[in-house]
Amino acid sequence: MRLPSIEMRKRVLHGLVVFVLIYVALIFRVGWIQVVRGDELSDAAMQSRTREISVQARRGMIMDREGRELAVSVDVDSLYAVPAEVRNAGQWAAALAPILGMDERVLRDRLAASASFVWLKRKMAPEAARAVRELDLSGLYFTMESERFYPKGTLASRVLGFAGIDSQGLEGIEMSMDELLRGEPGAISMEFDAEGREIPQAVYHYTPPVEGSSLYLSIDEIIQFIAERELARVVSETEALGAHLLMMDPSTGHILAMASYPNFDLNRWSEVSPVLWRNPLVSDTEHPGSVFKPVTGAAAIEEGVVTPSTPFYDPGYVRVPGAVIHNWNRQGLGAADFALGFAKSTNTIFVRTGLDLGMEAFYRYLYGFGLTEPTGVDLPGEAKGIFPPQDRARPVDLAVMSFGQTLTLTPLQMINSTSAIINGGYLMRPQIVHSIEDTVTGEIRELAPQVIRQVISEETSATIRDLMVNVVEEGTGSLAAISGYGVGGKTGTAQKTVGGVVSRDQHLASFMGFAPANNPAVVCYVVVDEPQGIYYGGQIAAPVFQTVVSETLRYLEITPEFPDEIQGQVPEGVGQPEEVLHQVPDVTGLSVVEAEQILDQRGLEFTRVGTGGEVIEQFPPEGTEVRPGSQVLLYTERLDEEQADVGMVRMPDLMGMTLRAAAEELGAVGLRMEVTGSGIIIGQEPAPRTHVQRGTIVHLYLSSP
């Protein structure tokens, strides 16, 4: 037998070595892939065959200071398609178009798209979702999303703002506090094959969303409603362009009402002009007019320039370099003191006081009262006051600014500075958010009032309060008087600037006031924009103040300072002595029809809040004495199908379902889920067929841990 040649043996050996090296290399490669990069490649493979469907987080609620709901979120259905599972895009599009209100061609293109996921309709009406489910078309699925709902419609619309399709805040509190309200979205991950078909019994992974924090505002719904009602009335009666009202607690800086008219329905925000979205009380500056005079007076008294008894001679005009300035009525008081000039809102006396105070001190108090910078309120788009730069201001500028012209301020700056003047001299940071609730832990964090600085002494503050009380008792603000309470205030009538020019016939009528006089619980600022006919603040804005603040004091149960006056004389135009006051009857528990009949018989007006059939709360409460024609608010329970979205729902039976099927069932009734395990559902809490609150988290236990 012939042995292989040496050459052949070498080739075999070489081949064996090469084979061994290749084998070793393969082993090394497999080890590298399996051990070193195993997790990375496994994740990549999983990602290539999984699809993640976002589960939108529910926005936190916005409530008034008493916990009444102003903005809530409800879970609604959104429809998406997996095009690879759609058998006939044309037929599916023809069937869906009339239900979804969409163009058939657009739907067909989406259903035939080369994508693994396409939205068809987000945040659907319940009827449309039911109709799509009845079609039972392959490749169509639902997921839950959160939709914003404003149960009070137009109430506080420019304060609350609104949220968009992706639950992002776009205006108002919804925008400024968006980071707290929006929460963190969750997701459902599912496995699909190479052709985009769902893999049966595949692994599901559910990451629950985290609900956003809820806010309690400092605003009170009842006071806000009263304010908006009176603004609508004064605009109608005076044919004004609009009207605004701010009310604060001067000791804390809490904003109790922030109202502008006209307003808009928050549930239909996209249907109105964007001009109405803007909140002019924080975003627009205006000439304050004579309501600014307490600022000049407080600065001058604090600096020792004047006292209430400082004598003046008022001929009706005053000459300053470059101008002759007249009183608003072109009449003079003759010999008078500062207190009388304050009560009669005399421009000439304030011009001389401002000039005696001097430029440096005047600007120092502008800063001190927070008028040179935004207040820092938690609302978007806040503006700040506009003044001539101090180094370029002329004596005529100082003279005119002393009685509230030339300079411009936001209404919020103006009321905040007045609060500092009457509360003992302390400038507060205005607060629109009262407290924040963590919806995960249930912890409520109250935001403490913030003192920025003390601007004037308590003695000066008390002096200005007395001077402002004199305005109502003996001066231009008599129509603001409230029986039983001491009221202080200041009227204002400012010329508007139009196109950079001060207008002669376009005015802002305003009134700034507070009550009770000795210990102010509220300060209120009313501005009426371009009233037709009479345009003086004491005649147009002061009566609005009187009505709103008198009802507010009664609602807050503020004890009258002079109870003997309540049934006595009241100023002319506010209510005549011979008027018989009516007691508000108790209509809670009655049907709306019965309640309205009783109120109508008593000569009282009424407004229905809500869409239910039974009165569950009323304001004013039973026994309150009111003038004929006063408004009574009737709060009704929500009974209709649309409003039931925020009520109780019946728990579906999910046993034996897949996670996707369960998600669709829960989404249909507005419930959320928390998942343990994977596979088929073998347990659930709460139990099937029990009644739970919409938005409740349902715990699902699946077959594989």
Residue 100, pLDDT score: 87
Number of Cβ within a 10 Å radius of residue 146: 29
Are 119 and 40 contained in the same domain? no
Q: For residue 632, give its domain range.
A: 582-636
pLDDT at 291 over 70: yes
* 642 occurs within a structural domain: no
Are 661 and 699 contained in the same domain? yes
Are 626 and 491 contained in the same domain? no
Taking alpha carbons only, the member of 364, 338, 358 closest to residue 349 is 338
Are 343 and 307 contained in the same domain? yes
pLDDT at 500 over 70: no
Looking at the 3D structure of the chain, how many domains does it have? 5
* 496 occurs within a structural domain: yes
| Rounded Cα distance, 676 and 692, in Å | 21
Number of Cβ within a 10 Å radius of residue 79: 21
- The per-residue pLDDT for range 664-679, each reduced to its tens digit, is 677 656 677 777 776 7
Are 191 and 330 contained in the same domain? no
Q: List, in sequence order, every residue forming a beta bridge with 341; answer none if it has no partner.
A: none
Are 559 and 589 contained in the same domain? no
Here the CATH number for the domain that contains residue 328 is 3.40.710.10
Give CA 344 to chain center in angstroms: 38
* 435 occurs within a structural domain: yes
Number of Cβ within a 10 Å radius of residue 274: 9
Could you tell me the pLDDT band of residue 699, with boundaries at 50, 70 and 90? confident
Active site residue 290: yes
Residue 123 φ/ψ region, left for φ over 0, alpha for ψ in the -120 to 50 degree band, beta for the rest? left
Could you tell me the pLDDT band of residue 591, with boundaries at 50, 70 and 90? confident
Beta strands at 62-63 and 214-217: parallel, antiparallel or unpaired: parallel
Are 192 and 255 contained in the same domain? no
- Catalytic one of 73, 78, 290, 510: 290
Question: pTM surpassing 0.95?
Answer: no
Are 115 and 240 contained in the same domain? no
Residue 330, pLDDT score: 81
Which letter, b or e, does each residue of 413-438 get, where b requires 16 or more Cβ atoms within 10 Å of its Cβ? bbbbbbbbbbbbbbbbbbbbbbbbbe
Percent of the chain surpassing pLDDT 70: 83
Are 45 and 63 contained in the same domain? no
* 183 occurs within a structural domain: yes
pLDDT at 75 over 90: no
pLDDT at 272 over 70: yes
Are 477 and 622 contained in the same domain? no
* 641 occurs within a structural domain: no
The residue-averaged pLDDT of 185-211 equals 63
Query: What backbone phi and psi angles, to 5 degrees, belong to 249?
Result: -90, 110
* 11 occurs within a structural domain: yes
- Among 517, 539, 565, residue at a domain's last position: 565
Q: Which two tokens stand for residue 255?
A: 């904003």
| Rounded Cα distance, 89 and 500, in Å | 60
Could you tell me the pLDDT band of residue 354, with boundaries at 50, 70 and 90? very high
* 289 occurs within a structural domain: yes
Q: Which two tokens stand for residue 344?
A: 């009669």
Taking alpha carbons only, the member of 507, 496, 506, 502 closest to residue 538 is 507
Are 110 and 204 contained in the same domain? yes
Taking alpha carbons only, the member of 420, 418, 413, 482 closest to residue 449 is 420
Residue 599, pLDDT score: 84
Are 76 and 10 contained in the same domain? no
